[in-house]
Amino acid sequence: MNIILLGPPGAGKGTQAEQIVEAYGTVHISTGDIFRKNIKENTELGKKVKEYIDKGLLVPDELVVELVADRLMQDDVKKGFMLDGFPRTIFQAEELDKVLSKLGTKIDTVVNIEVNPDILIERAVGRRICKGDGSTYHVKFNPPKKEGICDTCGQALYQRDDDKEETVKNRISVYTDQTKPLIDYYTKQNNIANINGEQNIDTVFEDIKAALGSDK
Ligand SMILES: [Zn+2]
């Protein structure tokens, strides 16, 4: 089974990805991992990627597609894969379809985890982390016994810069703008499963399983 996993930052995509891999034995393919592996192994593609990253530039679409295509040609992927963080643009989506068609395969389901932006903001902005042991709390959903203090080690809690309201809002709006055309693209292909990500983790996964069916 070949899957694309979509979902805004903070929607619990990572947790669901782990569960999908465990249940279906799919190979988890993230562009970040592919970049790192190619750079580490100093492949021709890795050298090109490194040039862009070193200059602080975005890796161009064509190169990202080349890297993903290279990964999809490897043997382990034949048992099924899950793409995470790719495609991000219509160009990438169209190129992916071409690559898969050459390989005699296709995307079976696009799992699109949906969460209202207000909820994503509330989840992130209320998050507090312990300076001592890294425990996470939430001011509303999982507060420490004593405000601002870690239950387990007694050290002070802090808010990450990444969880500040403006940063979160900006991250969500970038995601939404980027992903909207892709959602339209896969909706037209009629293989998208919109999943309500506002439910608890287990229910979200039950819905994903229902959408994927029992095929492996
Ligand atoms: Zn602590």
The tens-digit pLDDT sequence of the chain (216 residues) is: 999 999 998 899 999 999 999 999 999 999 999 999 999 999 999 999 999 999 999 899 999 999 999 999 999 999 899 999 999 999 999 999 999 999 999 999 999 999 999 999 999 999 999 999 999 999 999 999 999 999 999 999 999 999 999 999 999 999 999 999 999 999 999 999 999 999 999 999 999 999 998 755
Q: Of 160, 164, 180, 216, which residue is the catalytic one?
A: 160
| 10 labeled binding residue | yes
Q: Is 13 annotated as a binding residue?
A: yes
Q: Which fold has domain 2-116+179-212?
A: Rossmann fold (3.40.50)
pTM of the model: 0.88
Nearest to 37 by CA among 65, 7, 70, 15: 70
Cα distance between residue 4 and residue 110, in whole Å:
5
Q: Which of 48, 50, 169, 171 is catalytic?
A: 171
What lies within 8 Å, CB to CB, of 117 at 6+ separation is 8, 169, 172, 176
The burial of 213, by beta-carbon neighbours within 10 Å (0-12 exposed, 13-18 middle, 19 or more buried), is given as: exposed
**Is 88 marked active-site?**
yes
**What is the Å distance from ligand 1's center to 47 Cα?**
41
